[in-house]
Amino acid sequence: QQRSPVNYAHQIMTSPVITASIHQTVSAIRRLLSKRRFHHLPLVDDANTLRGIVSDRDLLRFAASHDRDVENYPVERLMTKKVISAAEQTDIRAIAEVMCEQAIGAVPIVNEQVAVVGIVSRTDILRTLVHRAPLDLWA
């Protein structure tokens, strides 16, 4: 079977991507992550602009560090606000490098208006290496 080179984020990203509002509660985000079996969720404002990202690990850390019930807290209180994102034409090697250097598990892919159009996870990169990409991807 002939495999063509895979070089760019748009070729491996999960799209459409599920996002959530920064105004949602920790409880709502936890349910969504659990229901969809996601580990990362991009968070957007009312204009659908990327404002943060939250992971299942963030939720666990936040709950463990607070004495009282955090289920009704807005997710905005615990989200990562300085999100590393990429454009659809970003080389996936650059994305993989940043993910390794910054120890992050997913990178939201955004358009010119900073609206989320996809997400690239570690799983997407590994799946590409195993199933889609010729080995010269890393040449």
Q: Where in the sequence is the domain holding 111, given as residue range(s)? A: 9-132
Question: 21 pairs with which residues across the strands?
Answer: 44
Q: Would you say residue 115 lies in a domain? A: yes
pLDDT number for residue 43: 98
Question: 41 pairs with which residues across the strands?
Answer: 54
Residue 22 to residue 24: CA distance in whole angstroms: 6
pLDDT digits (tens, 9 = 90+) for 40-57: 999 999 999 999 999 999
pLDDT digits (tens, 9 = 90+) for 8-36: 999 999 999 999 999 999 999 999 999 99
Q: Would you say residue 139 lies in a domain? A: no
**Overall average pLDDT of the 56-78 stretch:** 87
Q: Would you say residue 81 lies in a domain? A: yes
Residue 109 to residue 127: CA distance in whole angstroms: 18
* Assigned token pair, 29: 């985000």
pLDDT number for residue 53: 98
pLDDT digits (tens, 9 = 90+) for 82-129: 999 999 999 999 999 999 999 999 999 999 999 999 999 999 999 888
- Tally of domains within the chain: 1
Q: Would you say residue 110 lies in a domain? A: yes
Q: Is the pLDDT of residue 137 over 70?
A: no
* Omega before residue 16 within 30° of 0, cis: yes
Domain of residue 60, CATH code: 3.10.580.10
Q: Would you say residue 3 lies in a domain? A: no
pLDDT bucket at 79, cuts 50 / 70 / 90 = very high
What pairing do the DSSP bridges indicate for beta strands 20-21 and 116-121? unpaired
Q: H-helix or E-strand containing 97? A: helix 92-102
Q: Would you say residue 1 lies in a domain? A: no
**pTM of the prediction?**
0.87
pLDDT bucket at 139, cuts 50 / 70 / 90 = very low
